[in-house]
Structure 1
Amino acid sequence: MASPITPSTGLGSGLAIGDIVTALVNSDKLAKQTQITTQTKLVTTKLSGIGTLKSAMSAFQTALTNLGKKDAPSFSGYAAKSSDATKLTVTSDNSAVPGTYAINVSKLATSSSVASGAFTDGPTSAIPSGNLTLTQNGINTSITIPDGATLASVAKQVNATTQDSGLSASIITDDKGSRLVFNSTKTGAGSDITATSDVAQFNIAADAKLDPNDVNSAGYVSAKADSASLTINGLTVTSASNTIDKSLGGVSMTLLATGTSTVTVATNNDGLKASLQTFIDAYNNVVKAVTSVTKATISDTPDATTGATVTPAALTGDALPRSILSGLRNELVTTGADGNVSVLSQLGITTSQTDGTLSLDSTKFDKAINTQGLAGDVQQLFTGTGDGKNGLLARMTAAITPYTQTGGIFDTRTASLNKQQTNLTNEQTALDLRVTNLTATLTAKYNAMDLIVGQLKASATSITSFFESLNAQQSG
């Protein structure tokens, strides 16, 4: 803080009052200022260290989540590929069998779309009160039409009632008027929608086809719901859905268009290696983060101020980073789900004895996959069996959650350090105020002293002049 006193010399005393006050004030505040400065630097450094750990752990948690996604398995032992992704896409699991399969899709599965009779007054057409029952696959959904309803309000009411059933309603206006159109996300033969109602136009009978030229006609639009039809190596398969999971063991096919294509299933060496490397990199980033916040720096040149040659890191000596590494390393060596692969070393993954990071030996990995035939067992090691809690991904997630969760260890430590930082800021404000007040007090005292000294000098000068004048007269 800048001193309000500018260095000056007292007119009466000739003393450098500004310098004297500054020296006294600095001497008074030195111990407390040193304490505040040291503690503030320490707290700021620790906050930075906690932030570094939190960032690395959050990234690791994200990697674990992505690697464990069930809709896109990262550790599938086998990879399926379609020769024409515009006609069908494929995924595979560890029960897939290497091979080549000829697929011919002759028909896609379709859903039901039926339309009511036309209302000539459009979406605002008044609809009399009554009941409307929609039926699909033997399941009835009932809607009560209130007084004052319009075609638009009925559509809105249907959507609010059927939002969890896959049914929906919309309004299409054609040359004859506005029709209430019912659609479904369910596909397959026999999944047609029918409707019964007190309102004549809403009655839609089974197997009735809409005549667009008839204002009173109601029924299915274009075609009834139908099932997909295809052949796999010449064998006929019929499916109510365009996603087929069980017809080709371990391979899930999503049909997109009719036509022929080839599905090839092979060992997923590259995919497995990429997923393992993703896990390794995310884990190593945590290890490196821990090292960066705990390893002290040793210098050949002593610090100019302290003379020290060792500079502690942000969290040197703190138990938190050691606890993190201990928990993670424990899961690396713990046997999880039973299977042919129970530890990472079987896949060529080893831990460095110097820095604790993981590395993948490609030669050992290739031998494990190609020679020992362990491709189908890798996923079980990482994702486990049953509820998956015995898989490495779940166990690693459980180990880091206490740190990363809201209100967890990182949040608690950060809140504590932030409180210390606030307290130090308040202490600095109080010290600055004390310095201001002490400076003002000492300045006032020294100025008063200077005034008195000036007055005494003036009196001394006056007395001296008097006696000099008196002596002069006597001598004359």
Structure 2
Amino acid sequence: MASSIVSSIGLGTGLNITEMVQALVSADTAAKKAQITRQTSNNAAMISGVGSLRSALTAFQDAMKKLNDPNAPSFNAYSAKSANEAVIKVTSSNKAVAGSYSIVVDKMATSSKVASQQFAGGSTSAISAGQLTVSQGGNNWNIDIASGATLESVRDQINKELNVQGVSANIVNAEGGARLVLSSTTTGAGSDISLSGIPELQIDGTVKMSGTGAGYITDPAHDAELTIDGLKVTSAKNTIDSAISGMTLELTGVSAAGTSTSITVAADNEGLQKSVQSFVDAYNTLQKAITSLTSTSRDDDDNLVLGPLTNDPTTRSLVNDIRKVLSEVGAGSQLTTLSQLGINTTKDGTLEFNSTKFNAAMNDKKLGAEVQELFTGTNGIFERMNKAIDPYNSTDGSLATRKASLDKVAKNLADQQLALERRTESLTESLTKKFVAMDTAVAKLNAQANQIKSVFDALNAQAKNS
């Protein structure tokens, strides 16, 4: 800047040019600078507030999603336990009924595993060109084998084309030669694999392999066989969800001779209470986050300090929509409101959970079976809560739109700040040049005055001496 290349103290005027220029520039720009600083600070606080609100909403929705996970369902009125999970594992749904069952697993469901004839040439043995048909359970898949194919390339082609069908191939190099071995993820009787179309790869999956010939390796595919309280049950899969109402059985092993595994189903009030408490905790975390963003406080000088979203209409509307869900009546037959479970809203907007009232609802009124429907059923609390939140928190929701608008304001304020800095620099340079020019003119006038004074002083001195 121009002021940096001249002395702060004017040689002609004796004035501090730098301080004068700074004072004049500040007088011209101070108001705008203060305005931009204030607006930038407020806008940044609102951007941060909107981001914090969206994070809190997302965390709450994630908590509800976890509680509504179909693979680990919450709010089940009953829990099931297996006395021996090495033989059978069990999970229950809300449709289970309290009771006990004695289960014996005689066989587990198996899948097909077959092998081709033996090839003395190993994995590089030549395979005839043609169409190979792989058959299983009434399904036929055709694979075109090109000229020059080998046992190895056929294996790769099967894996590439039939992997999606759950059929895989490999090569086993045993004594006497190599075999193409196929297996499947499909279990149950009638799921045996057969190959046809290429003579040397012909396999009948229902015939046992013998000598160097093809066939199934150990046993053909078969169903699981078990008895439940003496009643025989068969299943093509080892996961059985239709044998006992409201329960899923996962067979993990065969029962030892003469033994059975006991399965017990009982009311799970403790599990229900934990799930309900998890919802209450998640909601309260959200409510506390909103309160911190919208509340007011006093600083050390007793000045009122507003939160970043205090009096924000969007946040106020969101809070009203969420609280409305809590007070709405659900579609259950007996359990229709949260208050029946001992959940009520406090003065600060958070929820309180009365465990005594909850236990009464479970033990006396027998409402356990309806808790899941209240929270996760069609038009349940979770569904209605997400419908209330999504217009605000979705990628194109009002909060995202608000953030985009605030970002534009931030960009505009930044541009104004740059323009102000350019004006400050330009004005400083202009005023500095003017003051330097004035000081130079004064210095010249002072020099001329000194010269004239010297002439008169000399004349006076001469007159005195004559």
Smaller-chain TM-score range? Answer: over 0.9
Contact residue 293 and residue 307 of structure 2 kept, 8 A: yes
Match of 1:426 in 2: 415
Alignment of 1:37-116 (within 5 A): 37-116=37-116
What is the alpha-carbon distance in structure 2 between the residues aligned to residue 315 and residue 45 of structure 1?
A: 8
What is the alpha-carbon distance in structure 1 between the residues aligned to residue 253 and residue 127 of structure 2?
A: 40
Contact residue 115 and residue 179 of structure 1 kept, 8 A: yes
Letter of the 1:375 partner, please give it: G
Match of 2:355 in 1: 362
Contact residue 112 and residue 205 of structure 2 kept, 8 A: no
CA apart distance, 1:44: 0.7
Which residue among 384, 393, 401 is the counterpart of 1:404? Answer: 393
Contact residue 339 and residue 381 of structure 1 kept, 8 A: no
Contact residue 5 and residue 18 of structure 1 kept, 8 A: no
Distance 1:28 1:120, change over 3 A: farther
Secondary structure of the corresponding residue to residue 262 of structure 2: strand
Map Cα deviations across residues 269-320 of structure 1 (whole Å, 9 max, x no partner).
Answer: 1211111111112212221121111111134734xxxxxx211110111111
CA apart distance, 1:7: 7.6
Secondary structure of the corresponding residue to residue 359 of structure 1: strand
RMSD (Å), alpha carbons: 2.1
Distance 1:124 1:413, change over 3 A: farther
Secondary structure of the corresponding residue to residue 291 of structure 2: helix
CA apart distance, 1:451: 1.0
Map Cα deviations across residues 81-123 of structure 1 (whole Å, 9 max, x no partner).
Answer: 1122232211111221112222222221111111112334443
Map Cα deviations across residues 53-72 of structure 1 (whole Å, 9 max, x no partner).
Answer: 11111111111211112222
Distance 1:285 1:194, change over 3 A: same
Contact residue 107 and residue 227 of structure 1 kept, 8 A: yes
CA apart distance, 1:4: 4.7
CA apart distance, 1:166: 2.6
Contact residue 134 and residue 193 of structure 1 kept, 8 A: yes
Secondary structure of the corresponding residue to residue 242 of structure 2: strand
Secondary structure of the corresponding residue to residue 252 of structure 1: strand
What is the alpha-carbon distance in structure 2 between the residues aligned to residue 459 and residue 52 of structure 1?
A: 71
Match of 1:209 in 2: 208
What is the alpha-carbon distance in structure 1 between the residues aligned to residue 369 and residue 330 of structure 2?
A: 16
What is the alpha-carbon distance in structure 1 between the residues aligned to residue 321 and residue 125 of structure 2?
A: 67
Map Cα deviations across residues 183-213 of structure 1 (whole Å, 9 max, x no partner).
Answer: 111111222112212x2232111421123x5
Map Cα deviations across residues 29-71 of structure 1 (whole Å, 9 max, x no partner).
Answer: 1011111101110111001101111111111111121111222
Letter of the 1:66 partner, please give it: K
What is the alpha-carbon distance in structure 2 between the residues aligned to residue 281 and residue 367 of structure 1?
A: 21
What is the alpha-carbon distance in structure 2 between the residues aligned to residue 123 and residue 23 of structure 1?
A: 91
Which residue among 236, 239, 244 is the counterpart of 2:240? Answer: 244
Match of 2:279 in 1: 279
CA apart distance, 1:335: 2.6
Contact residue 114 and residue 205 of structure 2 kept, 8 A: no
Match of 2:228 in 1: 232
TM-score w.r.t. structure 2 length?
0.94
CA apart distance, 1:376: 0.8
CA apart distance, 1:14: 0.5
Structure 2 unaligned spans of 5+: none
What is the alpha-carbon distance in structure 2 between the residues aligned to residue 395 and residue 222 of structure 1?
A: 55
Contact residue 133 and residue 195 of structure 1 kept, 8 A: yes
Distance 1:124 1:33, change over 3 A: farther
Secondary structure of the corresponding residue to residue 149 of structure 1: coil
What is the alpha-carbon distance in structure 2 between the residues aligned to residue 148 and residue 13 of structure 1?
A: 103
Contact residue 127 and residue 200 of structure 2 kept, 8 A: no
Match of 2:218 in 1: 222
Alignment of 1:14-413 (within 5 A): 14-197=14-197, 199-211=198-210, 213-214=211-212, 217-259=213-255, 260-299=260-299, 301-302=301-302, 309-352=303-346, 354-384=347-377, 388=378, 390-413=379-402
Letter of the 1:400 partner, please give it: I
Match of 2:406 in 1: 417
Distance 1:226 1:314, change over 3 A: same
Letter of the 1:80 partner, please give it: A
What is the alpha-carbon distance in structure 1 between the residues aligned to residue 461 and residue 107 of structure 2?
A: 139
Contact residue 10 and residue 16 of structure 2 kept, 8 A: yes
CA apart distance, 1:246: 1.9
What is the alpha-carbon distance in structure 2 between the residues aligned to residue 39 and residue 4 of structure 1?
A: 32
Letter of the 1:193 partner, please give it: I
Secondary structure of the corresponding residue to residue 85 of structure 2: coil
What is the alpha-carbon distance in structure 1 between the residues aligned to residue 244 and residue 411 of structure 2?
A: 64
Contact residue 107 and residue 258 of structure 1 kept, 8 A: yes
Distance 1:417 1:119, change over 3 A: farther
What is the alpha-carbon distance in structure 1 between the residues aligned to residue 128 and residue 449 of structure 2?
A: 118
Match of 1:305 in 2: none
Secondary structure of the corresponding residue to residue 225 of structure 1: coil
CA apart distance, 1:323: 1.7
Structure 1 unaligned spans of 5+: 303-308
Contact residue 332 and residue 370 of structure 2 kept, 8 A: no
Contact residue 227 and residue 239 of structure 1 kept, 8 A: yes
Distance 1:255 1:16, change over 3 A: same
Match of 1:438 in 2: 427
CA apart distance, 1:443: 1.1
Contact residue 115 and residue 182 of structure 1 kept, 8 A: yes
Contact residue 201 and residue 218 of structure 1 kept, 8 A: no
Secondary structure of the corresponding residue to residue 433 of structure 2: helix
Distance 1:236 1:37, change over 3 A: same
TM-score w.r.t. structure 1 length?
0.92
Secondary structure of the corresponding residue to residue 42 of structure 1: helix
Distance 1:170 1:394, change over 3 A: farther
Identical positions, percent:
46
Match of 1:306 in 2: none
What is the alpha-carbon distance in structure 2 between the residues aligned to residue 315 and residue 39 of structure 1?
A: 15
What is the alpha-carbon distance in structure 1 between the residues aligned to residue 339 and residue 111 of structure 2?
A: 50
What is the alpha-carbon distance in structure 2 between the residues aligned to residue 140 and residue 367 of structure 1?
A: 59
Secondary structure of the corresponding residue to residue 95 of structure 1: coil
